[in-house]
Amino acid sequence: MANSQAMTSAFKRDILKGFHNLGGTDNPARTVNTSDAYKLALYLASASRGAGDTVYNTTGELAATGNYAAGGNAVTLGTPPTLDGTTAHVTPSASVTWTNLTSSGAFDAALLYNNSHATKYAVSVHTFASQSITAADFTLTMPTSNGTTGLIRIA
Amino acid sequence: MALIPIIKLKRNGWPEDEPMAEIEESLLEYSETLIDNEVEHTVVREWRLDGKIVKRGAHVTLKKNVAAEAMAAMFGG
């Protein structure tokens, strides 16, 4: 099995149901008008993350050892979703770093999910070359935030 | 003199897993590897002792995003 980069199918459904607020306080559709909190969790190269994910779970996640905490690290969403022409996009505004990490194995994927709800709705899976970290930092830096390269896009 | 944390792991070629320790950085062999493709720009930093990895970090800059294609609503037709 392998991890596959994808916007999860469930996310497409869930945004139509109003499950997510990826930033901004200008949302008149919600009683609680604040951004949800999102996290990135890391998954072993042997896992099977992809478009079929619906929620965060620990199957295939790095073990909670070596300075990795189950559930991963928080994501900073500084700039609310916006339009670039006809494409909506949103990108976390800061890198996510696991400090002094010793990973329990080789990993090649990160799952972005909504951590504000008890049901931790999956957003997207992002893959990269397999990495095995030993007593050092692992940093994920986000792409340029625009309609072409933004991390999450609806074109 | 700069001490840096290292760990000897079986997966990196050491006989047994050993707890983290600190070592003088100048005793280690340092190298960087670059991965640059349509998916990512990644810098991998490795420190070796006796040819075996004792410290390895990575900085991944994502390039490839995820997108939902245009959604069209049509009545009738």
Q: Give pLDDT tens digits for A20-65.
A: 888 777 766 667 678 899 999 999 999 999 999 999 999 999 999 9
Q: Is residue A60, in this structure, part of any structural domain at all?
A: yes
Q: Is residue B54, in this structure, part of any structural domain at all?
A: yes
pLDDT in the model for residue B67: 81
Residue A78 has pLDDT above 70, yes or no: yes
Q: Domain of B56?
A: 3-62
Q: Is residue B75, in this structure, part of any structural domain at all?
A: no
pLDDT in the model for residue A104: 97
Confidence of residue B77 (pLDDT cuts 50, 70, 90): very low
Confidence of residue B39 (pLDDT cuts 50, 70, 90): very high
What residues of B are in contact with residue A137 (Cβ under 8 Å)? 57, 59
Q: Is residue A146, in this structure, part of any structural domain at all?
A: yes
Arithmetic mean of pLDDT over chain A: 92
- Scanning A109-128 for CB atoms below 8 A from B yields 124-128
Q: Is residue A69, in this structure, part of any structural domain at all?
A: yes
Measuring CA to CA, how many Å separate A22 from each of A37, A50, A88, A90, A134? 8, 20, 12, 8, 33
pLDDT in the model for residue B76: 60
What residues of A are in contact with residue B44 (Cβ under 8 Å)? 131
**Quick check: helix, strand or coil at residue A94?**
coil
Residue B52: both structure tokens together: 């075996």
Q: Does A3 touch chain B (CB under 8 A)?
A: no
Q: Is residue A61, in this structure, part of any structural domain at all?
A: yes
First-to-last C-alpha distance (Å) of chain A: 30
What residues of B are in contact with residue A49 (Cβ under 8 Å)? none
pTM of the model: 0.91
Which of A124, A128, A134 faces B66 most closely, judged by CB atoms?
A: A124
Residue A42: both structure tokens together: 């890391």
Q: How many domains does chain B have?
A: 1
Check CB contact under 8 Å for B65 and A154: no
Q: Domain of A108?
A: 6-154
Q: Is residue A1, in this structure, part of any structural domain at all?
A: no
Residue B70 has pLDDT above 70, yes or no: no
Q: Is residue B26, in this structure, part of any structural domain at all?
A: yes
Q: Is residue B77, in this structure, part of any structural domain at all?
A: no
Q: How many domains does chain A have?
A: 1
Smallest CA–CA distance, residue B4 to chain A, in Å, is 9
d(CA B7, CA A23): 40
